[in-house]
Chain A
């Protein structure tokens, strides 16, 4: 007997306790940028694994704030040259990269040595993107107009250039082990892929892809297969081996808008391809043929599917708990609508948007999809049906759960440690689903806190929730701790 909805097992009681501010599960970790400027773009990054504290770093205008992930106490404070537009932790959490695209400058800070500094100036070439190499000692800067990619080393004075990078959504891909990097290139109106060895930036393979207009490349988690897919005008995905051999080509159909997003399963066993025809096709890693097809119809008819529907409920105020002056959390809870999940009886028809046919990039098709870390589930979102998250059982290759939200789903991410999905819908709630059930959690904060993005801590113990100008961290406690 399934008892739904029920909070996930790891979601402790503390997350709902609002007795005192101290015991709140949510700690407001960022100053409101309104204090400084209205045009600020706050950038937050959670530290990668390997770093004890796994600090969240946030930047406010010129300043970079590094806090302890547990206590959110400020560890370091750096001041940059210009307004920070992008920050990224190095893989070993020793350095933080702050990109100021407007200035064409990247500044790197060391957490261990606060007075160590590094400034990379791209000069007149400009800067549009910057990222760490997997080893955390190199920075890859993409110049304006995708003229080249400059690889700066923090160890030596050497600088490498990669010419003709292709201006596409996912033009650089590193293998999970960080050994190899694939770069999409465009020369003489043809697409190429170059594979580099990350240790010394030596070109390993260079081959052309049979694509009209390469749109993205993605390594399989095992680092042996590279998926390259064509622009959305054509449904075409190509699979290359590490040594540049074409393993397989897959085309589901022609003459229609094609691939929108892809996702590798963590085991590299499956490749899920979301396309504009509102379907997810799953290829296997042996024959690279389609195993199955997941449709996303507006009506869920199968009785084996559980449909969780988010419903609003007015908060019940316990009068004896009311105190004067009311605590912040209580006040926020009083003035925000709460919601909970109901199990809908199938068949359920979901809210469906008819996409505008004569606009580019129509809002339809599978735009988001992600496998759970244990390979068991696949979460997808059909842009036609923006309020729903579909969770598929990969073992049975069947639709398992549908979460129907009140608002359009903005983002979702799997807990890196267990099959637990966090969803945000642009309001002040975070939604968590696990096979045991799902729960809606209100951010205990005054005013509006519209979560547009979320990011799990690598331990799976906390989630950073980002709104436009705030961020907060939601801590999920383990059962034994309770």
Chain B
């Protein structure tokens, strides 16, 4: 089997190359050929027979051959007629043509299959897409319905909103109305009140007059004896003097109150000033004298130094009593400046501290250093362990991976090989099938040939007997003309037969193998039958032919 493969594959490939060549040539050919090729049905022997019998009969064999020739030439095949002999058929080219046609057919079939597959695929795709389309359409419908529903709801809500707005408006109007009513009522009420009060006042006045002016004797005070005033003074007469005195006293009271308040404020101010002063002093003490002070001095010059001195002087003579504005301003200004300085200083210090902090930390953390080291050691150990772990894992992975790679490549190769092999086996199977068929047909053919040979023999014998009889009986030449044509015809046919046999013997077995199995033997058999039929009444070609067939068979089997 292996031998077979090795032999057949290159041949096939060469053939296929040829086919490619042809096909590349044929690509230019008009579409009619393609249609013809496509028109060729997958031949089942019966159909074949009927088809060909319809196409070619004994009467139109020449025409059909010529037609075929024409067709083939138009398709770019070499002429099936032998160039030199005019009407003679070139069997080799016919067979080549046929083979190529068959190859083409095969190829086309395959292409068709592919196309069909693609078509199927596309069909299924189409179906899928159509399904999708249908689904999407449904979804669209659904969404549309939803949209409609939502729109409806929106509309409802909007109408509700409108209603609510309306309600709100009415409520507002109501409120407005009520407010108006309230205000009108209030004014009315106030008005009525005033009226009533006036009336009441009038009544009071009247009552007053009535009650007071009657010289009511009852209105009286009975006292045993008048008591002295609480302060021991005697009651004074009311005069302008007393009025002025009262006024004076009132103002005195007010003044004393204000004075008291001012005193309180003064005390408060003094306290605050004291605090300020103290703050200032402390700030000055706090601030590093070498940095800020000269700067400030240089900047402010006299302005700062003078008030300080002044304050210093004032301080001695109890400046708190002098709440002079200039002093206050100077004090607040200087305090502000100092404060700004202090702030800057503190900020600077903060910065320094934050900068130094890291350094100091290390210095400070002497005790925790051991811990730190221990911790680092531990961590390092852990890292080491982890690393090792990772390494082993990597190794394991690599171990797993590397054979896997080889395997995969091998597997892939194997796969390819297997595929190839399967393909080949498939082909081989096909080929064997073809071969079987072929052999079957050949067997039938040889049988037919043997039969034909036998018949021919019988015929020859009959003819011999008949010729002898003729020859013996024929004394006179009254039927000479008839005798001339027949031998010629016989001779021609015999030649033809010979040639045919030769060609068959010359045919290469691989060609036959590679070519389409069904059509070729049929045609050959046809030819043979035709020949036989045409030469049925003629002399058979001879016994050598069947032997040749057998020989070729033998070659094949070898």
Chain B residues contacting A148 (CB-CB under 8 Å) are: 208, 212
Q: Are A137 and B204 in contact (CB under 8 A)?
A: no
Is B216 within 8 A of A123, CB to CB? yes
B197, B212, B246: the one contacting A125 at CB < 8 Å is B212
At the interface, yes or no: A155 with Cβ under 8 Å from chain B? Answer: yes
Interface residues contributed by chain B, number (CB under 8 Å): 40
B484 within 8 A of A: no
Q: Let me know if A426 is at the binding interface, CB within 8 A.
A: no
Given contacts A92-B230, A154-B226, A202-B238, A121 and B207 within 8 Å (CB-CB): no
Q: Which residues from chain B contact A110 at a C-beta distance below 8 Å?
A: 227
Chain A, residue nearest B214 (CB): A124
Considering only CB atoms, which chain A residue lies closest to B231 in the complex?
A135
Give the residues from 211 to 242 in chain B that come closer than 8 angstroms, CB to CB, to chain A: 211-212, 214, 216-231, 235-236, 238, 242
Is the CB of B194 closer than 8 A to any CB of chain A? yes
- In whole Å, how far is B233's beta carbon from the nearest beta carbon of chain A? 9
Complex contact A204–B250 (CB within 8 A): yes
B222 & A118 in contact (Cβ 8 Å cutoff): yes
Does B222 contact A147, Cβ atoms closer than 8 Å? no
Decide if B257 touches A222 in the complex (CB within 8 Å): yes
Which residues of A105-129 have CB atoms within 8 Å of chain B's CB atoms? 110, 115-125
**Do residues A156 and B204 form an inter-chain contact, with CB atoms below 8 A?**
no
Whether the Cβ atoms of A125 and B216 lie closer than 8 Å is yes
Q: Do A121 and B218 touch across chains, with their CB atoms under 8 A apart?
A: yes
Closest-CB distance, B97 to chain A (whole angstroms): 110
Chain B residues with Cβ below 8 Å from A117 are: 222-224
A123, A197, A200, A202: the one contacting B235 at CB < 8 Å is A200
Shortest Cβ distance from A207 into chain B, in angstroms? 14
Assess whether A155 is in contact with B228, with CB atoms less than 8 Å apart: yes
Interface string of B244-256 (1 = CB under 8 A from A): 0011011101100
Task: Render A204-228 as a binary contact track against B, CB cut-off 8 A, 1 for contact.
Answer: 1000000000000000001110000
Verify A202–B246 contact, CB threshold 8 A: yes
Are A189 and B216 in contact (CB-based, < 8 A)?
A: no
Docked-complex contact B257 and A152, CB < 8 angstroms = no
Question: How far, in angstroms, from A115 to B238 measured CA to CA in the complex?
Answer: 32
Q: Does A241 contact B (CB under 8 A)?
A: yes
Q: Is the CB of B219 within 8 A of A123?
A: yes
Cβ-neighbour of A123 out of B207, B218, B257 (below 8 A): B218
Q: Is the beta-carbon distance between A124 and B216 smaller than 8 angstroms? A: yes
B329 within 8 A of A: no
C-alpha spacing A200/B245, complex, angstroms: 11
The answer to whether B235 and A121 have CB atoms under 8 Å apart is no
- Interface status of A250 (Cβ within 8 A of chain B): no
- Also in contact, A145 and B219, with CB within 8 A (given A202-B238, A243-B250): no
A242: Cβ under 8 A from any B Cβ: yes
> Complex: how many Å from CA A122 to CA B212?
10
A352 at the interface (CB under 8 A from B): no
- Shortest beta-carbon distance from A30 to chain B in Å: 28
Selected from B201, B204, B230, B254, the residue in CB contact (under 8 A) with A224 is: B254
In the complex, are the beta carbons of B197 and A189 less than 8 A apart? yes
Q: Are B208 and A200 in contact (CB under 8 A)?
A: no
- Chain B contacts for A136, CB-based, 8 A: 230
Q: CB distance A118 to B223 under 8 Å?
A: yes
A179 at interface, CB cutoff 8 A: yes
Contact B207 A147 (CB under 8 A): yes
A157 at interface, CB cutoff 8 A: yes
Q: Which B179-216 residues sit within 8 Å CB-CB of chain A?
A: 193-194, 197-198, 201, 204, 207-208, 211-212, 214, 216
**B211–chain A nearest beta-carbon distance, Å:** 5
Given A119-B221, A200-B242, A222-B257, A147 and B211 touching (CB < 8 A)? Answer: yes
Instruction: Known contacts A145-B207, A224-B254; decide if A202 and B242 are in contact (CB<8 Å).
Output: yes
CB-CB < 8 A to B250: which residues of A?
Answer: 180, 197, 204, 242-243
Tell whether, in the assembled complex, residue A137 and residue B227 are in contact, meaning their CB atoms are under 8 Å apart.
Answer: yes
Contact with A along B323-338 (1 / 0, CB 8 A): 0000000000000000
Query: CB of B309 within 8 A of chain A?
Result: no
Contacts of B198 in A (CB 8 A): 188-189
Contact of A157 among B194, B226, B238, B246 (CB under 8 A): B226
A200 touches B229 (CB 8 A): no
Residue among B201, B222, B229, B249 with max Cβ neighbours from chain A (10 Å):
B229
Interface string of A148-165 (1 = CB under 8 A from B): 100011111111000100
Which bucket holds chain A's interface residue count?
Answer: 35 or more
Which residue of A92, A188, A200, A224 contacts B236 across the interface (Cβ within 8 Å)? Answer: A200
- Taking CB as reference atom, which chain B residue is nearest A268? B257
Chain B residues 240-288 with CB under 8 Å of chain A are 242-243, 246-247, 249-251, 253-254, 257
Chain A, range 166-181, C-beta contacts under 8 Å to B: 179-180
- Contact: B219 with A147, CB < 8 Å? no
A179/B221 in contact, CB under 8 A:
no
Q: For the complex, what is the distance from the CA of A204 to the CA of B250, rounded to whole Å?
A: 9
Query: A134: shortest Cβ distance to chain B, in Å?
Result: 9
Instruction: Determine if A197 and B226 form an interchain contact, defined as CB atoms under 8 angstroms apart.
Output: no
**Cβ distance A38 to chain B, nearest Cβ, rounded Å:** 31
- Contact pattern, B 142-173, Cβ under 8 Å of A = 1, otherwise 0: 00000000000000000000000000000000
Asked if A197 contacts B246 (CB within 8 A), the reply is yes
Find out whether the CB atom of B246 lies under 8 angstroms from the CB atom of A156: no
- Given A117-B224, A123-B218: A137 touches B254 (CB 8 Å cut-off): no
Contact of A202 with B224 at beta-carbon distance under 8 Å, contacts A123-B218, A243-B250, A243-B251 already known: no
Q: Given known contacts A156-B235, A202-B246, A204-B246, is B254 in contact with A119 (CB within 8 Å)?
A: no
A70-129 CB contacts (< 8 Å) to partner B = 91-92, 110, 115-125
Determine how close the nearest CB of chain B comes to the CB of A118; give it in whole angstroms. 5
Q: Are A243 and B224 in touch, CB under 8 angstroms? A: no
Residues of B within 8 A of A187 (CB): 201
Max count, chain B CB within 10 A of own CB: residue among A120, A154, A157 = A154
Which residues 397-449 in B have Cβ within 8 Å of A in the complex? none
The residue of chain B having its C-beta at the shortest distance from the C-beta of A212 within the complex is B190
Q: How many Å lie between the Cα of A274 and that of B540 in the bound state?
A: 149
Which residues of chain B are near A180, meaning CB under 8 Å? 250
Q: Do residues B254 and A118 form an inter-chain contact, with CB atoms below 8 A?
A: no
Task: Compute how far the CA of A148 lies from the CA of B193 in the bound complex, rounded to whole angstroms.
Answer: 21
Residues of B within 8 A of A92 (CB): 230
CA A179 to CA B252, docked complex, whole Å: 12
Which residues does chain B contribute within 8 Å of A154, judged by CB atoms? Answer: 223, 226-227
- State the CA gap A163–B209 with chains docked (Å): 12
Instruction: Determine the chain A residues whose CB is within 8 A of the CB of B235 once the complex forms.
Output: 153, 155-156, 158, 200
- Which among A116, A121, A197, A241 is the interface contact of B225 at CB below 8 angstroms? A116
Q: Which residue of B lies closest to A175 (CB)?
A: B253
Contact between A204 and B221, CB atoms less than 8 A apart? no
Task: Evaluate contact between B204 and A200: CB separation under 8 angstroms.
Answer: no
Set B204, B228, B253: member contacting A145, Cβ < 8 A: B204
Give Cα distance in the complex from A154 to B221, angstroms.
9
Q: Are B230 and A135 in contact (CB under 8 A)?
A: yes
Q: With a 10 A CB-CB cut-off, give which of B197, B198, B208, B250 has the most chain A CB atoms.
A: B250
| Nearest 6 Cβ contacts at the A-B interface | A123-B218, A123-B219, A224-B257, A123-B216, A119-B222, A197-B246
6 inter-chain pairs at a CB distance below 8 angstroms, sorted by A residue, are A147-B207, A148-B208, A156-B226, A157-B226, A200-B238, A224-B257
A122-B218, A136-B230, A147-B208 are known contacts; what are 16 more A-B pairs with Cβ within 8 Å? A91-B230, A116-B224, A117-B223, A120-B220, A123-B211, A123-B216, A124-B214, A124-B219, A148-B208, A156-B226, A179-B253, A200-B236, A200-B246, A204-B250, A223-B257, A242-B250
Q: Which residues of A contact B (CB under 8 A)?
A: 91-92, 110, 115-125, 135-137, 145-148, 152-159, 163, 179-180, 186-189, 197, 199-200, 202, 204, 222-224, 241-243
